[in-house]
Chains A and B, each alone.
Chain A
Amino acid sequence: EVQLVESGGGLVQPGRSLRLSCTASGFTFGDYAMSWVRQAPGKGLEWVGFIRSKAYGGTTEYAASVKGRFTISRDDSKSIAYLQMNSLKTEDTAVYYCTRRSAAGTRGKLYDYWGQGTLVTVSS
């Protein structure tokens, strides 16, 4: 059974940093791209970014709203994906979901498994 478990959320002051972790199990982690999606309170889903598998260079892509402040990395030996968030702003307050990014024979990628999410609150 595929499982994604996020951790590391909490209350942080504006301008500070926080690192989220996503521990995966039930599949060959290194074979998949991993993505982060967030949802501000009462709002819709917002794509944050993703990291490709090592087979595709392990490169990353980010939404314009977080580019230069957030960094996604991965440790395939531990089946963990990370989201390093720096220079946090109040508008970064959201539930952050870890997702598995898959192709499933489609043109473009989809998110076939999601974690339960972890809440990040940026406030003074």
Chain B
Amino acid sequence: QSVLTQPPSVSGAPGQRVTISCTGSSSNIGAGYDVHWYQQLPGTAPKLLIYGNSNRPSGVPDRFSGSKSGTSASLAITGLQAEDEADYYCQSYDSSLSGSDVFGTGTKVTVL
């Protein structure tokens, strides 16, 4: 049972903007721990997409952006492309669970 909640699915037409929320609590995101995002394309391993709330690793298009406020974080994809159809997961650390990293429930992005 994950402590970070995401919407099961979001969808958008090519070129549109979609956002994915990641809702936590005072023991994880609200405690000041950073949020990281991963993209999992069908049949592949997850890949780091955003780290430290809003930073993109080298090679990640600037269409992807992240933000954090209070006990929540968000991932935005602007100019949605067919290749963005994937599962997306947020991840943080939870101080209420001994040494525990935690993942979000995951969101399926569908490009219409």
Question: Are B106 and A111 in contact, with the CB atoms below 8 A?
Answer: no
Given contacts A45-B103, A106-B36, A108-B93, contact A114 B47 (CB under 8 A): yes
Interface size class of B (residues with CB under 8 A): 20 to 34
Q: Of the candidates A44, A108, A115, which one forms a contact with B2 in the assembled complex, judged by CB atoms under 8 Å apart?
A: A44
A35 at the interface (CB under 8 A from B): yes
CA A64 – CA B93 in complex, angstroms? 15
Separation in Å of the A120 CB from the closest CB of chain B? Answer: 15
CA A116 – CA B45 in complex, angstroms? 6
Residues of A within 8 A of B87 (CB): 44
A: residues with CB less than 8 A from B are 35, 37, 44-47, 50, 61, 63-64, 97, 101, 104-117
A-B contact pairs, 21 of them (CB 8 A): A44-B87, A44-B105, A45-B40, A47-B100, A50-B101, A63-B100, A64-B97, A97-B45, A97-B46, A105-B52, A106-B36, A106-B51, A107-B34, A108-B33, A108-B34, A108-B93, A110-B36, A110-B51, A110-B91, A113-B48, A115-B45
